[in-house]
Amino acid sequence: MANFALPEFSDFDFKSIAEIISKSDKKALFVFSCGYEERSLSQYLEVKKKVPQGNINYLCFSFTTFKTSGSRQNNEATLSEDNIEPIELEPHDWQSAWSSLRAYISGNQQQGTHVFIDYSSMPRNWYCMLAKKMVEGEIGPNVTLIYSHGEYFESQYPCVGYGEFHQFSGRPNITSFRELNIFGLGFDSIRTHGIWTYLDPQLSVAVIAKSPTNEEHCERVRKENPEILSASESIHEVSIDQFSSMLSTLIDISRTYSVYGDIALVPDGPKPLVLAMSLVPSYLDVKGVYCWHVGHVKPNEYEPIDVKCSGEYFGFSIS
């Protein structure tokens, strides 16, 4: 898959988490975040029901923002009843989150313990950096990232706008005169169209994440993004529940179009797609392939959407 020795991934069945933990002679660590979405605690509550307290430790983060929005107060009350005190940080403070995780693992975990990370309600930079640390072996040999799929409403998705562009991974080839953009598409078509217009790509490719149980997901993404889709050189659908296959497809697309010029990946859509697109430059490890992370600009009157979990959990581990 890669040009150098990065590990490959295997898909993880969340239903097996209790069995995996119960068979281990070491305490597992479950890392998650408490936000304003109801789904913030969906995995935690499932694990708590299935896994004896003596077999697992919990590490939770919360954020200084949106403290009264959505399900945030209910989530915090639940954790308080369970005697779990989240580490509260600014959403942009990845370094403190990473330092806290490393310190916790060093002080509380045995070598070789299994670390499970629920990235469903984490900021983009956090979960993408955690994945990079994962493939670089800095979290440990047994790491699993798990995403709680959300239930989304039928009305117009609220636009969060776009802000600062940050080059997350890879590096452009400064001598290239041509560039192709690979866009990950989601429901926020206004934001995506704004980014597309700003970048004004010479050539573009579109990628849509498929839900294994909801065929209407792709249809809605196509309906929301007609202009970008009509202008795209090609359109690809990837399965949100098959991370290794999704990453391989994105790598193949990047390689196919690399003869054109630089490849700039611009991820959006569900978090597993964003994560896979962000890792592509690390796996190819060649100049001319890189990934943009585009910030959000939320107006003062914006009220975040309280997303519930659909009951589906998509995970992957290092194999």
Q: How far apart are CA 276 and CA 272, in angstroms?
A: 6
Nearest to residue 277, comparing CAs of 286, 290, 287? 290
1: pLDDT strictly greater than 60 = no
Residue from 253, 265, 240, 259 nearest 316 by CA: 240
Q: Is residue 43 part of a domain?
A: yes
Residue 216 located in a structural domain? yes
Number of other residues whose CB lies within 10 A of the CB of residue 264: 23
Q: How many distinct structural domains can be found in the chain?
A: 2
pLDDT of 176 above 70: no
- Does one domain contain both 176 and 148? no
Question: Is residue 16 domain-resident?
Answer: yes
The residue segments making up the domain with residue 310 are 9-153+304-318
Does the pLDDT at position 319 exceed 70? no
**In the prediction, which pLDDT does 109 show?**
63
27 plus 103 within the same structural domain: yes
> pLDDT at residue 3 above 50?
no
Does the residue 160 lie in any domain?
no
Do residue 212 and residue 113 come from a single domain? no
pLDDT, tens digit (0-9, with 9 covering 90-100), for 263-298 = 999 999 999 999 999 999 999 989 999 999 998 876
Domain presence at residue 36? yes
- What pLDDT does residue 157 have? 67
Say if residues 114 and 18 touch (Cβ distance below 8 Å).
Answer: no
The count of other CB atoms within 10 Å of the CB of residue 207 is 27
Taking the alpha carbons at both ends of the chain, their separation in whole angstroms is 13
* Of 286, 251, 315, residue with least CA distance to 119: 315
Is residue 1 domain-resident? Answer: no
**Torsion angle defined by CA atoms of residues 137, 138, 141 and 146, in that order, rounded to the nearest 10 degrees:** -100
Q: Is the pTM of this model over 0.85?
A: yes
182 with 216, same domain? yes
Q: Are residues 284 and 312 in the same domain?
A: no
Is residue 299 situated within a structural domain?
A: no
Residue 110 is predicted with a pLDDT of 65
pLDDT in tens, 59-96: 999 999 999 999 999 999 999 999 999 999 999 999 99
Nearest partner of 252 among 31, 58, 2, 23, judged by Cα = 2
Chain segment 33-42, per-residue pLDDT in tens: 999 999 999 9
Which strands form 203-210's sheet, in the order they lie side by side?
A: 165-171, 289-294, 262-266, 179-185, 203-210, 234-239
